[in-house]
Amino acid sequence: MLYHLRFLAVTTDLSVLPKLFTDLWNMQTLIFNTTKSVVQVNADIWSMPKLRHIMVNASLEFSPPPKKGKDKSSSASSSRADLQTLSTISPNSCTEDIFAKTPNLLKLGVRGNLAELLESSGGICLFDNIHKLHNLDSLKLLHESANNQGSMLWTFPRPEKFPRKLRKLTLHKTSFGWKDISILASLDKLEVLKLDEFAVNGDTWALNNDAVFNNLQFLRIGRTDLATWTCGKDSFPVLKSLYLLHCEFLNALPLSLKDVKTLKLLDLFHTNKKAAPSAKEIRDHKPKGFELTIYPPIH
């Protein structure tokens, strides 16, 4: 009866995605939660014809997929053109061969030592392979390493290196600079930007008039050392929701946000008390229905 399963959620201590999963040929969604940080993929997902979504709370390590023509069984089913979600995989699994098997991927998460993804080795940068995912809508980059260190020396990808249809981007512990984040304004279709815990280092984010996030509607800034944030009234012309979490050094919000007509929600969670007056001033310039939340409320 297991052969008829379409959805499977597993909680385990395994560090391997077993080969026997390959026999679940009717599987569409696989959720694999484990206590391990890395999971070796032994299952031949390339021969699972209905698989659409793979979601794992660890870093999936893939072996190279079978080559076309290697044998009849692999050549007939070596591409998973219908795979839509692959999250999360290891940086060193972001190879040309792997992504050639997932041409229509919509959601991708990469977890691990992102130096392996972002830095060139032998003239090859694995992030360039993500650019070839022409239908990618959502990308998550989560840095984890054995020594738990970030690096301000990483080369931030040029705007043209990001998939052209990207609408959602999440960064976690990536330790980029605020100048790097300003570069993301060049991503015309970007609607959601989540800068989670230690995604960015630096105490100043100064957006000049050339950096305009034309389609950004949702912005979340997590734990960071940001203290000074300035921008123009046109920097976020269609922003609807702004979340600030654990921004303990932020002295004030840009008052230019009061002129963003689309802004409907402002949420400050455990943020520097100094930021509260500017948030209230922005609220006071907004029409009825604007939602401001400050926690703790004593701010």
| 96-145 confidence digits (pLDDT tens) | 999 999 999 999 999 999 999 999 888 889 999 999 999 999 999 999 97
137 CB burial (10 A radius; 0-12, 13-18, 19+): middle
Do 17 and 150 belong to one domain? yes
Question: Rounded to whole angstroms, how far apart are CA atoms 175 and 70?
Answer: 42
**How much is the pLDDT for 75?**
39
Any domain includes 188? no
What SS3 class is residue 276?
Answer: helix
Do 122 and 245 belong to one domain? no
Any domain includes 183? no
Instruction: Give the domain-ending residue among 125, 143, 166.
Output: 166
pLDDT band at 249 (very low <50, low <70, confident <90, very high): very high
Do 19 and 131 belong to one domain? yes
Residue 20 belongs to what domain range?
Answer: 1-166
pLDDT tens, position by position, 48-103: 989 999 999 999 999 876 665 544 444 334 566 789 999 999 999 999 999 999 99
Do 208 and 162 belong to one domain? no
Model's pTM, two decimal places?
0.92
**What is residue 43's DSSP assignment?**
S
What SS3 class is residue 169?
Answer: strand
Do 37 and 86 belong to one domain? yes
Do 140 and 202 belong to one domain? no
Overall average pLDDT of the 275-298 stretch: 94
Overall average pLDDT of the 182-202 stretch: 96
Any domain includes 187? no
Any domain includes 176? no
CA 95 to chain centre: 18
Q: What is the CATH number of the domain that holds 78?
A: 3.80.10
Do 152 and 208 belong to one domain? no
Do 87 and 226 belong to one domain? no
What SS3 class is residue 239?
Answer: coil
Do 91 and 202 belong to one domain? no
Any domain includes 184? no
Instruction: Give the domain-ending residue among 166, 186, 217.
Output: 166
* Phi/psi at 61 (5° precision): -105, 120
Do 120 and 254 belong to one domain? no
Query: What domain count does the chain have?
Result: 2
